[in-house]
């Protein structure tokens, strides 16, 4: 029976949770990388070209990390999953920094964007009072800031959730690896890996 974990992720085995979240992270990171590198003027017009380039590269790295996590989870490689999980915790910090920069940038440019909006609106039509344009543009910019804050919080929470799931799976693989080493005497290959000839030779 499928239970729910953290209120939003089905309680599948850690391996499948890691694969699912890594796949989601791969597509989200690729999408944001395309936004920041392909047409930043359409989505983040207030951000400098250099900053969008940095963010675009960061999301490309995140997409590659997610792909690395998918491969490591599929082949159940403890070391690969642990490196993957540690890198994810690093990206939690990166996502927080990106969110702060974007929000601060929006707040600093808020009045400038309101003035530009009022100027454009008043140029297109003269039947509405200036105060109405100001209220309209102020509400628009406020909604934009609130929307970006909400998106940033969701991305950070998703990053933390993803890192926790991956860390749990890494610990499980490391524990299983240690138990396997304890059960297999040093210098004697595991029976599962011996051929019939090798077993008969060791018995003689």
Q: Pull the structure tokens for residue 46.
A: 């207030």
Q: ∠ CA 125-127-133 to the nearest 5 degrees?
A: 70
Which residue ranges make up each domain of the chain?
A: 13-203
pLDDT value of position 87 = 84
- Which carries the bigger pLDDT value, residue 111 or residue 48? 111
Cα angle 184-189-193, degrees, rounded to a multiple of 5: 110
pLDDT digits (tens, 9 = 90+) for 177-204: 777 776 655 554 444 444 444 434 443 4
Q: Could you read off the pLDDT of 108-127 as tens digits, one per residue?
A: 888 888 888 888 877 766 66
Mean pLDDT over all residues of the chain? 77
Enter the pTM of the model: 0.63
Following DSSP, what letter does each residue of 155-202 receive, concatenated?
HHHHHHHHHHHHHHHHHHHHHHHHHHHHHS-TTS--GGG--HHHHHHH
User: Angle at CA 92, nearest 5°, toward 178 and 157?
Assistant: 100
């Amino acid at each position: 029976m499928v239970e729910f974990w953290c209120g939003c992720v089905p309680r599948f085995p850690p391996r499948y949770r890691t694969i699912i979240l890594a796949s989601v992270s791969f597509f989200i990171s690729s999408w944001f990388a395309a936004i920041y590198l392909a047409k930043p003027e359409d989505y983040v017009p207030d951000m400098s070209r250099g900053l969008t380039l940095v963010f675009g590269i960061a999301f490309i790295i995140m997409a590659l990390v997610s792909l690395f996590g998918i491969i490591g989870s599929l082949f159940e490689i403890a070391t690969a999953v642990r490196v993957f999980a540690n890198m994810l915790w690093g990206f939690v910090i990166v996502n927080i920094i990106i969110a702060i920069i974007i929000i601060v940038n929006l707040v600093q440019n808020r009045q400038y964007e309101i003035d530009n909006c009022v100027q454009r609106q008043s140029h297109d039509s003269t039947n509405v009072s200036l105060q109405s344009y100001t209220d309209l543009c102020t509400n628009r910019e406020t909604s934009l800031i609130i929307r970006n804050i909400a998106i940033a919080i969701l991305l950070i929470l998703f990053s933390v959730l993803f890192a926790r799931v991956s860390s749990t799976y890494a610990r499980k693989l490391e524990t299983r690896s240690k138990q396997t080493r304890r059960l297999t005497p040093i210098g004697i290959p595991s029976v599962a890996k011996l051929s019939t000839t090798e077993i008969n030779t060791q018995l003689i």
